[in-house]
Amino acid sequence: MDLELDTATFLSKHPPFQYLTPGELTELADAAVLDEYPTGAVILDSMQRPADVIWVVRSGQVTLLHPPDDGITGVPMDTVYPGGVFGYSALLTGSDIDFTARASQPTTVCRLPGELVRPLFARPAGLAFLAEAAAKATGTSPVPVEQIPSRRAVGDLVRGEPVLTAPGTSVRDAVRYMSERRSSYILIPLPGGDLGIFTDRDLRTRVVAAGVDLTTPVAEVMSAPAQTVTEDRSTATVLMDMLESGLRHMPVLTIRGAVLGVLEEADLLAAATRKSFVLRRSIALSPSPAALQEVCSGIPDLVVDLFRGGTEASATSGILSVVIDSVVRRAVEFALAEDEALPRTGFAWLSLGSIARREAMPSSDIESALSWVPELSPESGRLTGMAATVHATLDDCGLPADTNGAVASTARFARSVAGWRRAAAQWLDDPLQDRGLVMSSLLLDGRVVWGERSLHTIPTAYRNIRTDHPDALRLQLRDALAGRARTRSLRDVLSRRAGTFDLKAHALAPIVNLARWGGMTVGATVASTPGRLRAAAGNGLLTERDTTILTEVFTLLQRLRLTHQVDQIGAGVPPGDVVTMPELSPLNRSLLGDGVREIAAVQRRVGYLASDSGVPLRR
């Protein structure tokens, strides 16, 4: 590259800087530092803690090598030519540099400050750069559409056995074991089912920098509890969670809670969904409720662009759920800022329903609950008042509250941890009292989006329902089978050209309810509908074939729902689940009919097998 070009002009010719404004380019160029290196000189050593910068090759050539083979004659992992960038992954994730950068000829490198370039990677140009870099690194571009990583579940990406050790293991032995396994992390199983995690970053910041003795138990310097995801989550949504939280490692659990493995951000980088990430960052940075409302006006367009751009329905609904979570968190932050007397810790905001299951649709309303530590019980009035403020903000953002009152501003859905435990015990002892069946179904789907996860205790209370409360489990099954998918009513509808059909109430809900019951039979109380079905296969009533059929029909229904609602958004009509038969193609009409018949057949088989349970399955 011609060194006579000024730095601003040089940067403007290379991604991800080519879309910066002249003023932004000038600011970046003024802050840039040029360094010259002779052939063979080390520019960046993997043993160093890098400054908050990225590097751009101005002229010459830079070779990136794996640390075990980083000599002058080492085999390169990548070569960076003029205009190329390196060091951006460490800048964005806070991780260690995992390569050595060496000048392979006389080279000039431009150092750019992180505070100026970090926001760039949240823009479309920056995200496109990251996705293309990941595709190049993994050799995945181009790929068939059906193999796009963002459309896969994270469980499909896990490779190798997880690296685990006991809490009492010394730091020295833990690091030795990590080195032997060539791992940048080690997991520590904890009492109660949680996990701790100890990483290279913890070693650097909590041990070396803090002067901690290497004989110290690793439990004293680990991060706990580690944030985890279940294997059914889509890669795109997990990547957004990791980037926003600043996490480099994400433990992946099976639906039943066993450790499957650990993914690193590099495993997911190609799954980045550019527009959704930009929107989510804009939500997090909104300075006021009015600004948040304006940002949220782009959510429907996001759904339309994703789905019409080829993202499958399950991934689109998962991304939509993650974006809604961001809006809820920002609304909670605004409510807390309005009232300085409100507690900042000790409570949790729960998302319920389809959003909690990561199955949101544009028509989804907001169901919520609150849980708090006993010490905050005197503040219950303030907390429910805060919840009302949060829902008012969400209403303004186009995210209406549940019309049936399942919201955290009501006493029924706002309780202390002890209150929720008492409620769960009552529902398990007598599910027909206090709307126990309905309440338990809502809370079993619950997921904490603000606060401490340990404050949501209902799933734990139901984990052993099969052995400890078999009568309650049978009533859960009765309730799940009560909403029958009826092929006759569907045939009646299809026979009338102007007929309508509610995709959610008449077909989807029976699958969701069966899956929730199925999950309870095997202790998988928290998961998506497909995840619960997979876990329940072979539970004695649901066969592998049953769960496969129900999963396929669920996928079909979600696709039909999203197609219908995206078309409604395009036509300026509020999205909903009631379809008229003429709008469906003959093929989709036939698939829908077959799907409802399959649901009904599974319901009949399960009901017949359960008929000796002593609980009537019809009401």
Domain boundaries, the chain: 7-122, 146-238+246-265, 273-462, 470-613
CATH code, residues 470-613: 1.20.120
Q: How far is CA 470 from the centre of its chain?
A: 33
What is the arithmetic mean of pLDDT over 104-118? 91
Backbone angles phi, psi at 64, to 5 degrees: -105, 130
Are the CB atoms for 8 and 26 separated by under 8 Å?
Answer: yes
When pLDDT is averaged across residues 507-526 and rounded to a whole number, the result is 91
Segment 436-488, tens digit of pLDDT: 999 999 999 999 999 988 999 999 999 899 999 999 999 999 999 988 776 44
How much is the pLDDT for 29? 93
pLDDT at 134: 56
Percent above pLDDT 70 for the chain: 85
| pLDDT top residue among 493 and 153 | 153
Whether the predicted pLDDT of 139 surpasses 50: no
> Average pLDDT of the chain?
84
Among 3.40.50.2000, 3.30.460.10, 3.40.50.700, 1.10.443.10, what is the CATH number of 273-462? 3.30.460.10
The set of long-range contacts for 277-281, using a CB threshold of 8 Å and a minimum separation of 24, is 277/122, 277/127, 277/240, 277/243, 278/122, 278/123, 278/124, 278/127, 279/323, 280/240, 280/244, 280/322, 280/323, 280/326, 281/122, 281/244
Interhelix angle for 235-245 vs 274-284, to 10°? 40
What is d(CA 169, CA 188) in angstroms, rounded to the nearest whole number? 9
pLDDT of residue 312: 80
Distance CA 602, CA 303 (A): 32
Q: Is the pLDDT of residue 281 over 80?
A: no
pLDDT of residue 386: 96
pLDDT band at 145 (very low <50, low <70, confident <90, very high): very low
Nearest residue to 255 via CA among 443, 458, 554, 536: 536
CA distance 571 to 560: 17
Q: How many CB atoms lie within 10 A of CB 372?
A: 25
Q: Where are the alpha helices (DSSP H) in 288-312?
A: 289-296, 299-308
Q: What is the pLDDT of residue 243?
A: 65
3-state secondary structure of 397: coil
Q: Which residue has the tokens 């809370």?
A: 443
Q: How much is the average pLDDT of 495-508? A: 76
- 7-122 CATH, one of 3.40.640.10, 2.60.120.10, 3.30.420.40, 2.40.37.10: 2.60.120.10
Q: Quick one: pLDDT at residue 580?
A: 84
Q: What percent of the chain has pLDDT over 90?
A: 48
Give the lowest-confidence range in 118-122, 551-555, 561-565: 118-122
| Fold of the domain spanning 146-238+246-265 | CBS-domain (3.10.580)
**Confidence check: pLDDT of 38 > 90:** yes
β-bridge mates for residue 253, sequence order: 230, 259
- From the CB of residue 256, how many other CB atoms can be counted at a distance below 10 Å? 17
Cα–Cα distance measured from residue 387 to residue 379, given in angstroms and rounded to the nearest whole number: 12
Region of poorest pLDDT, from 112-121, 265-274, 323-332, 404-413: 265-274
What is the per-residue pLDDT for 24?
Answer: 87
For the cut 70, the answer to whether the pLDDT of residue 284 exceeds it is: yes
**Is 584's pLDDT higher than 90?**
no
CA distance 154 to 3: 45
Q: For residue 612, what pLDDT is reported?
A: 61
pLDDT in tens, 538-559: 888 999 889 989 998 999 999 9
The pLDDT assigned to 423 comes to: 95
Confidence of residue 500 (pLDDT cuts 50, 70, 90): confident
Residues in Cβ contact with 599 at an 8 Å cutoff, skipping those fewer than 6 apart: 485, 507, 510, 511, 550, 553
Q: Which residue has the tokens 């078309």?
A: 567
How sure is the predictor about 141, in pLDDT bands with cuts at 50, 70 and 90? very low
| Least confident interval from 197-201, 326-330, 354-358, 360-364 | 197-201
